[in-house]
Amino acid sequence: MGAVFFWIIIGLIAGAVANRVFDSSGGLFGNLILGLVGALVGGYIANLLRLNVTGGWIDSIVVASCGAILLLFLKRKVF
């Protein structure tokens, strides 16, 4: 149960950071989804680049935020 709570908090923070960077509005649920998907994308890219991400709070927020920002960037380019 603790891991689910951890990822929800990370997702909310990452989604909020990405929305601030792109001056977008997604609402609470939108930020959560954006942050969670961004965490998956960011984690995948970090793994491909062989970055040493230890899995702590700060590392997770940075990786998830970068993934969420990339998703918002691609969304703006496509739509």
Whole-structure pTM value: 0.85
**Per-chain mean pLDDT for the chain:** 86
User: How deeply is 7 buried, as exposed, middle or buried, from its count of CB atoms within 10 A (0-12, 13-18, 19+)?
Assistant: middle
pLDDT value at residue 49: 93
What per-residue confidence (pLDDT) applies to 67?
Answer: 92
Element (H, E) at 22: none
Task: Give residue 1's pLDDT.
Answer: 64
Distance of CA 32 to the CA centre of its chain: 9
pLDDT band of residue 65 (cuts 50, 70, 90) is: very high
pLDDT tens-digit series, residues 30-60: 888 888 898 889 989 988 999 888 878 888 8
Tell me the domain boundaries of the chain. Answer: 2-78
